[in-house]
């Protein structure tokens, strides 16, 4: 029988109701994905006794579903960037991170990460993660080889290119095929194990324990059907993922994400965020999420143009696929097409996940417009304006870079059907608890909640704006700021 029947994820358990601690540690970590592993490693290295609880039967979390790509650079470039000819300045990385953070970017986190990104690369290698010294110049989502460096954001596209010198910054681990995230997690989990962190699997978080002043003292978990109390002498670190799998929370907070039918998540039920809120933690950007249909490769399609159901263009198509996809979600209606001509089609090279089908085809753009049942001249005018300027190497409306400009004038013409309910349109959430760069969870007045930390998608981190997300940012944030939280909690 529970002495605290009212406790829940959303109502903390009073310290006075705890009669026995079943676990005692300096630092309690919830969640064994990349952020939890990184936090546990650094806390243990700082001398703390660490106890880690994970709801699943093994390590990995949603990090293990990813490609394992990590966004890094600055400081003159990682060795792999430099070998590929990119001297990536810290200020360029910083400016890019602030721009892609959107209108409420976290400049303090961007600063800390930009200054220490190269050291973070070295740290990852020290954990046993290997990187091949190689670079892929072509547009790609995730290498099918064990190659490393890719362009994984909108660095070369307007408006980013105007403010920050571009460089490729997506570092994929030396792992053949998809599934690099699993490889990264195995290396991190190996360190967690070697450091003697006490790991309890199949442990579901029920509630935080806090005293009447709101200081966090521990965590209540269910293990083997029993309610158990874990004392955290210095701090609890919430690394329990986002909330994309909790469809009620998505509907309430990020309804735009409901338009994307393929959530990327394992647990990601919002439990970490809710635990933080139960002791007054503030949330930020709960409406924001990453979502994408991976519409390239082939890179030739970047020379095509997207139109909405008004026949209008809406973005420079040389942006990262996720940025373009986020604009797709925001258009009126559900019908979106990617227009290509004979020279730009090349769909045989399309990523197997994408499988975007042809919605209409014809020998003239008038034919395509008619087949799509669009208002007369709507699509045709958009193509005419685009072609007129593209022939001169210009795109005054959306500023696609010159190398992607080519009149779409070689029949046959096609309109690829990018309807959100027809394509693979994946998503995860970017909103979460407000934290300092140290991982300390903040209340709405931006004072730390004593004894509480968060990292990964439980926090609102560097990646916090759907329009700005770049591949590798979530794992970069999870590992780097997981480490900060572990270090700070160990010495709190």
Taking the least distance from each CB to a second copy, the nearer of 277 and 462 is 277
Please identify which residue in 19, 162, 396, 421 interacts with a second copy, judged by CB under 8 A. 396
Q: Which one among 251, 342, 355, 410 touches a second copy, defined by CB under 8 A?
A: 251
Of the candidate spans 72-80, 90-98, 230-238, 370-378, the one that interacts with a second copy by CB under 8 A turns out to be 370-378
Asked if 161 is part of the footprint of a second copy (rule: CB under 8 A), the reply reads no
Nearer to a second copy, 131 or 290 (CB): 290
The strand order across the sheet containing 357-362 reads 305-307, 337-340, 413-417, 357-362
Per-residue contact track with a second copy, 329 to 358, x per CB under 8 A?
-x----------------------------
Q: Give, in order, the Cα–Cα distances in Å from 342 to each of 299, 351, 362, 394.
A: 14, 19, 11, 21
Query: Of 261, 361, 385, 401, which one interacts with a second copy (CB under 8 A)?
Result: 385
For position 283 contacting a second copy by CB under 8 A, the verdict is: yes
CB of 12 to a second copy, least distance (A): 7
**133 scored as a contact of a second copy (CB under 8 A):** no
Does 102 sit near a second copy (CB under 8 A)? yes
End-to-end CA distance of the chain: 33
CB of 98 to a second copy, least distance (A): 13
Q: x/- site string to a second copy, residues 177 to 216, per CB under 8 A?
A: ----------------------------------xxxx--
Residue placing its CB nearer to a second copy in the complex, 280 or 411: 280
Q: Which two tokens stand for residue 297?
A: 């490769």
Would you say 434 or 477 has its CB closer to a second copy? 434
Burial code of 202-236, b = ≥16 C-beta within 10 A, e = fewer?
A: ebbbbbbbbeeeeebbbbbbebeeebbbbbbebbb
Q: Which of 107, 108, 176, 384 is close enough to bind a second copy by CB under 8 A?
A: 384
User: Looking at 20, 57, 85, 103, which residue binds a second copy (CB under 8 A)?
Assistant: 103
Per DSSP, the three-state class of 157 is coil
Residue 420 contacts residue 329 (beta carbons within 8 Å): yes
Q: Which of 274, 323, 487, 488 binds a second copy (CB under 8 A)?
A: 274
Choosing from 280, 299, 407, 412, the residue that interacts with a second copy (CB under 8 A) is 280
Q: Which stretch binds a second copy (CB under 8 A): 5-13, 110-118, 172-180, 195-203?
A: 5-13
Please choose, out of 31-39, 169-177, 276-284, 415-423, the segment that lies near a second copy by the rule CB under 8 A: 276-284
163 contacts a second copy (rule: CB under 8 A)? no
Nearer to a second copy, 105 or 178 (CB): 105
451 three-class SS: strand
CA dihedral 324, 326, 331, 336 (to 10 degrees): 50
Identify whether the C-beta of residue 68 lies closer than 8 Å to the C-beta of residue 175: yes
Q: Does 233 bind a second copy (CB under 8 A)?
A: no
How many CB atoms within 10 Å of residue 6? 11
Q: Which helix (H) or strand (E) holds 236?
A: strand 226-238
In 3D space, the residue among 112, 79, 67 whose CA is nearest the CA of residue 93 turns out to be 112
Question: Closer to a second copy at the Cβ: 12 or 234?
Answer: 12
Inter-residue contact 91 to 117 (CB < 8 Å): no
**CA 208 to CA 210: how far, in whole Å?**
6
Residue 19 near a second copy by CB under 8 A: no
For residue 128, count other CB atoms closer than 10 A to its CB: 14
Q: Which two tokens stand for residue 165?
A: 């010198």
185 and 220 in contact (C-beta within 8 Å)? no
**Pair 236, 452: CB distance under 8 Å:** yes
Size of the site for a second copy (CB under 8 A): 59
**With binding defined as CB under 8 A, does residue 11 bind a second copy?**
yes
Min separation Cβ 396 and a second copy, Å: 4
Q: How far is the CB of 244 from a second copy (least distance, A)?
A: 15
Cα-based distances in Å from 273 to 89, 120, 207, 278: 35, 26, 12, 9
Q: Residues 6 or more apart from 415 whose CB is under 8 A from it? A: 307, 337, 338, 339, 358, 359, 360, 361, 368, 371, 372
- Residues forming contacts to a second copy in the complex (CB under 8 A) are 6, 8-12, 14-17, 102-104, 211-214, 249, 251-253, 255-256, 258, 270, 273-274, 277-280, 282-287, 310-313, 330, 375-378, 381, 384-385, 388-389, 396-398, 434, 443-445, 447
């Amino acid at each position: 029988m529970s002495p605290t029947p009212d406790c829940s994820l959303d109502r903390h358990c009073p310290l006075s109701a705890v009669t026995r601690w079943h676990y005692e540690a300096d630092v309690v970590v919830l969640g064994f994905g990349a952020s939890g592993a990184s936090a546990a490693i650094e806390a243990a290295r700082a001398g703390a006794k660490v106890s880690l609880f994970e709801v699943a039967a093994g390590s990995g979390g949603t990090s293990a579903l990813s490609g394992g790509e990590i966004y890094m650079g600055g400081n003159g470039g990682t060795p792999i960037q430099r070998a590929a000819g990119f001297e990536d300045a810290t200020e360029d990385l910083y400016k890019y991170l602030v721009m892609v953070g959107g209108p409420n970017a976290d400049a303090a986190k961007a600063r800390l990460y930009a200054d220490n990104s190269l050291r973070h690369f070295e740290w990852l290698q020290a954990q046993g993660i290997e990187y091949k010294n190689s670079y892929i110049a072509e547009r790609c989502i995730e290498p099918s080889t064990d190659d490393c460096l890719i362009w994984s954001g909108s660095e070369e596209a307007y408006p980013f290119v105007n403010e920050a010198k571009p460089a490729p910054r997506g570092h994929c681990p030396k792992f053949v095929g998809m599934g690099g995230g699993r490889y990264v997690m195995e290396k991190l989990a190996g360190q967690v194990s070697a450091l003697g962190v006490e790991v309890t699997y199949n442990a579901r978080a029920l509630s935080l324990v806090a005293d009447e002043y709101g200081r966090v003292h521990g965590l209540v978990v269910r293990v083997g059907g029993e309610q158990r109390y874990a004392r955290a002498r210095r701090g609890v670190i919430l690394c329990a993922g986002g909330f994309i799998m909790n469809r009620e929370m998505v509907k309430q907070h990020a309804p735009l994400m409901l338009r994307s039918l393929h959530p990327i998540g394992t647990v990601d039920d919002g439990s970490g965020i809710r635990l933080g809120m139960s002791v007054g933690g503030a949330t930020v950007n709960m409406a924001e999420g990453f979502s994408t249909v991976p519409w390239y490769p082939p890179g030739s399609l970047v020379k095509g143009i997207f139109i909405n159901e008004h026949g209008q263009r809406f973005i420079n198509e040389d942006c990262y696929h996720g940025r373009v996809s986020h604009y797709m979600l925001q258009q009126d209606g559900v019908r979106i097409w990617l227009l290509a001509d004979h020279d730009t089609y090349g769909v045989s090279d399309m990523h197997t996940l994408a499988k975007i089908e042809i919605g209409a085809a014809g020998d003239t753009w008038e034919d395509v417009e008619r087949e799509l049942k669009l208002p007369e001249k709507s699509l045709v005018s958009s193509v005419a304006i685009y072609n007129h300027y593209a022939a001169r190497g210009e795109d005054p409306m959306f500023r696609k870079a010159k190398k992607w400009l080519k009149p779409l004038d070689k029949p046959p013409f096609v309109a690829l059907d990018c309807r959100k309910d027809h394509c693979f349109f994946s998503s995860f959430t970017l909103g979460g608890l407000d934290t300092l760069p140290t991982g300390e969870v903040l209340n709405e007045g931006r004072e730390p909640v004593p004894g509480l930390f968060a990292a990964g998608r439980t926090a609102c981190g560097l990646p916090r704006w759907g329009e700005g997300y770049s591949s590798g940012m979530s794992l970069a944030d999870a590992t780097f700021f997981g480490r900060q939280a572990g270090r700070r909690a160990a010495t709190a």
